[in-house]
Amino acid sequence: MSHSRIELDGTSLTCDLVARAARGDVMIAISDTGRERARAAWETVRRVAERRPVYGRTTGVGANRAVEVEWEDADAHGLRLMRSHAAGAGPLARPEVVRAMLVVRANQIAAGGSGVDPGVLAALADALNLGVLPPVPVYGAIGTGDLTAMASTALCLIGERSWLAGGLDGGGEADADAGLARGPHFPLSSADALGFMSSNAATLGEAALAVTDLREALDASVVIAALSMLAVRGSREAYAPAVHVAQPVQAEVAAAVRSLLAYELDTPARIQDPYGYRAFPQVHAPALEAARHAERTVTRVINSAAENPLVDVPDAEVWHNGNFHTAGTGLALDAARLALFQAGALSAARLGTLTEPSFTGLRAFQANAEAASGIMILEYVAHSALADVRRQAAPAALGSAVLSRGVEEHAGFATQSARATGEAVAAYRIALACELVAAVRALRMQGRAPSGGALRAAFDQAASVLPDGVEDRPLDVDIAIAADLLPRLARLLPSPDEAVHLRRAE
């Protein structure tokens, strides 16, 4: 797949590709194999529906599942489903989230289990390429299918609801008064209505964005922790290979820090550092493992035919099931947020050491004069952001719901978990930015810089854009600049293969 074109085939979509498609100016195409899978499922479900009931196609939905649709009402049935379920509420979802939803839904249909007319794939790709979006309110899903979001999309496709002009900057929320736009039209049949709507694409799209951002932030945090460690002349004993031999991911984190500090020859200032440095591998590794598990979980589901009913082409059958339920995704994201809070708490702890003269050799708060405030306020900002990470870390899976006259008696709230994960990562980035500002300022005031390698590159990138004045002044611009640097710093982290190679060499 090129940088300017992403081809959806139902089997090879990644979270990173979802993020690129949602946030970048790329062309979306559908592979021939994806179209053929969708076509085979479409032909199969029509044959099955002639001989036995198929949920939502020949019956009602929810508690009405046992009510058969009369043949003379068949054409109106699906239209009623689309209209009745397009009932979301609240502000509109961010444009990047809606684009991610369209990407995931197209890929799911290309996986070949929905039974929806394959012509809808071209329409979804056209919407993405034209930059138009269906209006999708935030509230309406609880982790058992994004019915309100998909119903609104379906009404746009059949021309009953207007498309909105969608931006690609990924920032801000879509406005209810956003300009209307000309978008694709596709005559989605009544029989295909439920097949199109029965999807968790909005939840999975937002989850894919969140885990992509989470991985990037965690990578950047290793580089920032190494800068802080250099600034306080920390000991590398806690990162010795023998300490981590029984924990592979922990060993990987320790090796990455050793690699970043490989050029530094300073004598440690103390025999044993605070937890922010000494326990960094032990705290960061679980966050990394949780993030990787969440990414694997989301990747697996966005490349599967998570449909109810599922069209089984080889067996020429339709299976009614619970594939719409995203319990596993929600639980993985819940775990990732809990681990992220622990990583954020260590970042705040390191920031605390960067305000202390006994650690930096500078005045308190890195001030340029007695009684000056220096970076004092950074701790308040970091802990304010960290409080939001803690608030969002509450497991969404602790909730449940009984709906539709008791027929749908469980919900995992993965939708809320996905949203909370994105918000938690955004807050964590602010805490990291505060630490980065403090670490770079400390090194500058000490007249020091990393001696070489990736850590020197990280310092140089930060120093080239962060203001160098140490007088008391507003630091909000510094924090914003540092937050924008995180993706670049993340790319400087030694890869796991490089870290393993270093560990073996030692």
Across the chain, what does the average pLDDT equal? 91
Choose the final residue of a domain: 149, 176, 199. 199
- Number of Cβ atoms within 10 Å of the Cβ of 194: 29
Q: What residue spans of 200-326 are helical by DSSP H?
A: 201-231, 248-260, 275-278, 280-302
Q: Are residues 107 and 221 in the same domain?
A: no
Q: Are residues 168 and 65 in the same domain?
A: yes
Q: Give 39-70 as a DSSP string.
A: HHHHHHHHHHHTTS--TTTTB--GGGTT-BPP
Q: How far is CA 111 from CA 12, 34, 39, in A?
A: 10, 6, 11
Q: Are residues 264 and 361 in the same domain?
A: yes
Nearest to 339 by CA among 165, 458, 215, 202: 215
Helices and strands of the chain, counted as H and E runs: 18, 9
Look at the chain and report how many structural domains it folds into.
2
Beta-carbon contacts of residue 212 (< 8 Å; ≥ 6 apart) = 15, 16, 18, 19, 295
Q: Are residues 249 and 191 in the same domain?
A: no
DSSP summary character for residue 314: T
Q: Give 347-365 as a DSSP string.
A: HHHHHHHTT-HHHHSSSGG
Task: Label residue 503 by pLDDT band (50, 70, 90).
Answer: very low
Tokens matching residue 273: 């550092």
**Residue 171 confidence (pLDDT):** 38
Helix 119-130 and helix 95-110, axial crossing angle in degrees, nearest 10? 160
- Judge whether residue 217 has pLDDT over 80: yes
* CA dihedral angle for residue 210, residue 211, residue 213, residue 219, rounded to 10 degrees: 160
Residue-wise pLDDT tens digits, 436-464: 999 999 999 999 999 999 999 999 999 99
DSSP 3-state assignment of 327?
Answer: helix
Q: Is the dihedral of CA 211, 212, 216, 219 positive or negative?
A: positive
Residue-wise pLDDT tens digits, 5-48: 999 999 999 999 999 999 998 999 999 999 999 999 999 999 99
Q: Are residues 74 and 213 in the same domain?
A: no
Tokens matching residue 210: 């969140």
Q: What residue spans of 354-405 are helical by DSSP H?
A: 357-360, 376-392
**Residue 74 confidence (pLDDT):** 61
Tokens matching residue 149: 């979001």
**Residue 62 confidence (pLDDT):** 55
Q: Are residues 124 and 224 in the same domain?
A: no
Three-state helix/strand/coil letters over 159-175: CCCCEEECCCCCCCCCC
Residue-wise pLDDT tens digits, 242-278: 999 999 999 999 999 999 999 999 899 999 999 999 9
The boundaries of the domain holding residue 175 are 5-199
Average confidence (pLDDT) over 354-367: 98
Question: CA 53, CA 59: separation in Å to the nearest integer?
Answer: 7
Strand 310-312, strand 317-319: pairing: antiparallel
CATH code of residue 394: 1.20.200.10
Q: Are residues 145 and 215 in the same domain?
A: no
Q: Are residues 155 and 125 in the same domain?
A: yes
DSSP 3-state assignment of 318?
Answer: strand
**Residue 60 confidence (pLDDT):** 56
Choose the final residue of a domain: 199, 233, 248. 199
Average confidence (pLDDT) over 190-214: 95
- Judge whether residue 197 has pLDDT over 70: yes
CATH code of residue 155: 1.10.275.10
The pTM of this model reads: 0.93
- Number of Cβ atoms within 10 Å of the Cβ of 372: 15
**Residue 174 confidence (pLDDT):** 45
Q: Are residues 369 and 456 in the same domain?
A: yes
Residue bearing the bigger pLDDT, 246 or 72: 246
Question: CA 204, CA 199: separation in Å to the nearest integer?
Answer: 9
Task: Assign residue 481 a region (left: φ > 0; alpha: ψ between -120 and 50; beta: otherwise).
Answer: alpha
* Percent of all residues in the chain with a pLDDT value above 90, rounded to a whole number: 79
**Residue 324 confidence (pLDDT):** 83
**Residue 169 confidence (pLDDT):** 45
Residue-wise pLDDT tens digits, 459-485: 999 999 999 999 999 999 999 999 999
Q: Which of 40-54, 232-246, 339-353 has the lowest mean pLDDT?
A: 40-54
Beta-carbon contacts of residue 296 (< 8 Å; ≥ 6 apart) = none
Residue-wise pLDDT tens digits, 134-169: 999 999 998 888 999 999 999 999 999 999 997 554
> Please, are residues 49 and 191 in contact by the beta-carbon 8 Å criterion?
yes
Task: Assign residue 132 a region (left: φ > 0; alpha: ψ between -120 and 50; beta: otherwise).
Answer: beta
Residues, the chain: 506
Q: Are residues 136 and 162 in the same domain?
A: yes
Q: Are residues 449 and 366 in the same domain?
A: yes
DSSP 3-state assignment of 315?
Answer: coil
Choose the final residue of a domain: 199, 231, 258. 199
Q: Are residues 142 and 38 in the same domain?
A: yes
Task: Label residue 351 by pLDDT band (50, 70, 90).
Answer: very high
Average confidence (pLDDT) over 284-298: 98
